[in-house]
C-alpha cells in the first residue's frame, strides 16, 4: 500500500489528524510528530507513529520518496487482505 503523507515536524503531539487535499489535487494523510527535522529523526518518528497506528512492524514501513521534504510517499508492506483493516486503523483517531 502506498500513502501520500504531509509531515509536520516539531509539533506538540504525535498525531495523524486526517486527510487533506493539496494544491496539486492529490490527497495527503496529515501527520504531526514531536521530533525535529534533523538527521532523519522526524522520518523515524513518522515510521514509529504509522507502525503503532496500523499494527505493522517498523521494518514493513519505508519512505519511498520525500525523505527531506514535508510531502512524502510512504510504502506499507502488508497482505492484500489486511488493507481494509489498516485503512480503518489510520482513520480511527483513538
pLDDT in tens, 19-56: 888 888 999 999 999 999 999 999 999 999 999 999 99
Determine whether 35 is exposed, middle or buried from the number of CB atoms within 10 Å of its CB (0-12, 13-18, 19+): buried
| Consecutive H or E run containing 53 | helix 41-54
pLDDT digits (tens, 9 = 90+) for 60-94: 999 999 999 999 999 999 888 888 888 888 887 65
Q: Which domain holds residue 45?
A: 2-91
Give residue 89's pLDDT. Answer: 86
What CATH number is given to the structural domain containing 55?
Answer: 3.30.1200.10
Give residue 4's pLDDT. Answer: 95
Q: Rounded to whole angstroms, how far apart are CA atoms 63 and 46?
A: 9
Which cell numbers in the block locate residue 80? 492484500
Q: How many domains does the chain have?
A: 1
Alpha-carbon distances of 69 from 45, 81, 91, rounded to whole Å = 14, 31, 23
Q: Rounded to whole angstroms, how far apart are CA atoms 24 and 34?
A: 27
Per-residue pLDDT at 12 exceeds 80: yes
Amino acid at each position: 500500500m502506498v500513502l501520500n503523507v504531509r509531515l509536520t515536524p516539531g509539533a506538540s503531539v504525535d498525531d495523524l489528524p486526517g486527510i487533506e487535499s493539496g494544491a496539486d489535487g492529490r490527497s495527503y494523510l496529515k501527520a504531526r510528530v514531536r521530533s525535529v527535522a534533523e538527521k532523519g529523526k522526524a522520518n523515524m518518528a513518522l515510521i514509529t507513529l504509522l507502525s503503532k497506528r496500523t499494527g505493522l512492524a517498523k521494518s514493513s514501513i519505508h519512505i519511498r520518496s520525500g525523505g527531506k521534504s514535508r510531502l512524502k510517499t510512504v510504502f506499507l508492506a502488508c497482505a492484500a487482505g489486511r488493507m481494509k483493516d489498516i485503512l480503518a486503523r489510520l482513520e480511527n483517531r483513538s
